[in-house]
Homo-oligomer: A and B are copies of this chain.
Amino acid sequence: MALNLLPLHTLLIFVSIINSALLSSADQDSHPYIWPLPAEFSSGEETLSVDPGVSLIVAGDGGGSPIVRAAFERYMGMIFKHTYGRASSLLARIRFLRMVEYDITSLNIIVHSESEELQLGVDESYTLMVSKRNEQSIVGAATIEASTVYGALRGLETFSQLCAFDYSTKSVQIYKAPWFIQDKPRFAYRGLLIDTSRHFLPVDVIKQIVESMSFAKLNVLHWHIVDEQSFPLETPTYPNLWKGAYSRWERYTVEDASEIVRFAKMRGINVMAEVDVPGHAESWGVGYPDLWPSLSCREPLDVTKNFTFDVISGILADMRKIFPFELFHLGGDEVNTDCWKNTTHIKEWLQGRNFTTKDAYKYFVLRAQQIAISKNWTPVNWEETFSSFGKYLDPRTVVQNWLVSDICQKAVAKGFRCIYSNQGYWYLDHLDVQWDKVYKTEPLNGIKHPSHQKLVIGGEVCMWGETADTSVVLQTIWPRAAAAAERMWSSREAVSKGNITLTALPRLHYFRCLLNNRGVPAAPVDNWYARRPPKGPGSCYAQ
């Protein structure tokens, strides 16, 4: 089915904008709550019913994308969870000659671009209008318009949050209609790190994480695949590397990794792979002991051998076929060079080049950067590379913060792009950091100049895996990752003013319960310590 393209933007000019403070005063009767808060929106006082057989009408060059169709089916499943037999209800509707009249009988999705390219800065904006169909209405009852399929996905998530199952009428309703929403993300990069080296996470669990990210409009899965403890990924060029896996079963095949990338793309999420060098790489040597400085001193990777860089090049060549995202993370953090200093052949090599260990660290990182760049990747490095030898880094480097609070400020002043993920606030393994501290953290703090601000491409919450295995990873991520997600999506003004106990907390409670209803085991919001169980009986909305 097709629909003529309509000038939604011209309509939206007339839309009055209300802010989050107004929304927060809403009581239980005037839902919905939306998380993260859209850039601009207005609502009314009507309640509209949604047809469980709602049809999808697409338009625009990208409207016919399978990504749109699959997302529509996914979201209809979530929206009509309590309306059993969506398909049979379609039949029933035909059978009973539409005896029940619904207000919303179709969802129009207009996507202007046919490109499904998913890269940093892809247009995720959308407009969403929901209003009762009437003779004056020139648009359908619910309409999402977006430049790209990924904008349409964000619009579908918002639409799903407008829909609530009403237990009295047993129908799905949209309160406070008409809705006019014009939305776009504040930052292009809104990441979550997972760590599959400290604990292996099965493919199904990574998919659960990716799916849950899409509910909060996060858009980059930073996959810290390998570390000193284990090397789970198959690398055909150097097939012994995954001998460094914990066991023969705690592994990802190339096909597994590709499946994760595909699954994530269907949800508008990029996967940024990380291969952390030269530290955090002890597990490599299980398959190729030559990569260790010596059998008794195993980290960092042996800087002296071409073999080391051949292996890196081989891994990156293999991974290039799996990960299409333009960013690739080379780590570079916490490099303890004692093994270089204390191993005879490396000590001699350093002396021969008149290198300090710091010079060797720089040499290693820069050589690895060039390998990534030669494979058409933009390198990302942890901040120590910038603080140690920033002026030598390739200017395309994206610096990722974790340690020092003003490192992004310094990096952007030197023209580098930066990702904010300060450990004191956005490391999810810091279990004593509560939601409000996560929420109040502002990536642009101290960065005044607009040209500098633009270089902060976004932020990332990091779920390091030392004590987060399959059994606890999702409840360590949620709900706190949602606090950062709103900070990164919504306008700085909306999330920075007012009393967040009123403007944000009720919506976060609601979002946590939405996650629970979708089968995601998000932990109580009020926990003083992350992932703790509730203290006693009670409602999801008050814990």
Residues of A within 8 A of B (CB): 28, 81-82, 84, 164-165, 167, 170, 197-200, 202-205, 208, 229-230, 234, 242, 246-251, 253, 255-256, 259, 465-476, 513, 516-519, 521-524, 531, 533-543
Contacts and interface: CB of A to CB of B under 8 A. Distances in A.
26 contacts: A82-B255, A82-B256, A164-B249, A165-B249, A167-B234, A170-B255, A199-B540, A200-B539, A200-B540, A202-B516, A204-B517, A204-B519, A205-B519, A229-B537, A230-B539, A246-B539, A246-B542, A466-B537, A467-B534, A469-B516, A469-B534, A470-B521, A471-B522, A471-B523, A471-B531, A476-B533
Contacts of A203: 81-82
A533 B468 contact: yes
Nearest to A201: B516
A513 B470 CA distance: 9
A466 B524 contact: no
Query: Majority SS of interface residues in chain A?
Result: loop
Given A470-B521, A470-B522, 20 more contacts: A81-B203, A82-B203, A82-B253, A84-B255, A167-B234, A167-B248, A202-B517, A205-B516, A208-B519, A246-B538, A246-B540, A246-B541, A247-B540, A249-B517, A469-B524, A469-B533, A471-B534, A472-B523, A472-B533, A474-B521
Contacts of A197: 537
B28 A247 contact: yes
A82 to B, nearest CB: 6
A516 B465 contact: no
A513 B249 contact: yes
Most chain B beta-carbon contacts within 10 A, residue among A165, A534, A543:
A534
Given A202-B516, A249-B167, A538-B246, A533 B84 contact: no
A524 B250 CA distance: 15
Contacts of A82: 203, 253, 255-256
Contacts of A167: 234, 242, 248-249, 251, 253
Contacts of A541: 246-247, 249-250
Nearest to A166: B248
Nearest to A248: B167
A334 to B, nearest CB: 15
Contacts of A255: 82, 84, 170
A195 to B, nearest CB: 9
A249 to B, nearest CB: 7
A204 B514 CA distance: 12
Nearest to A513: B249
A513 B167 CA distance: 39
Contact of A475 (B164, B248, B472, B517): B472
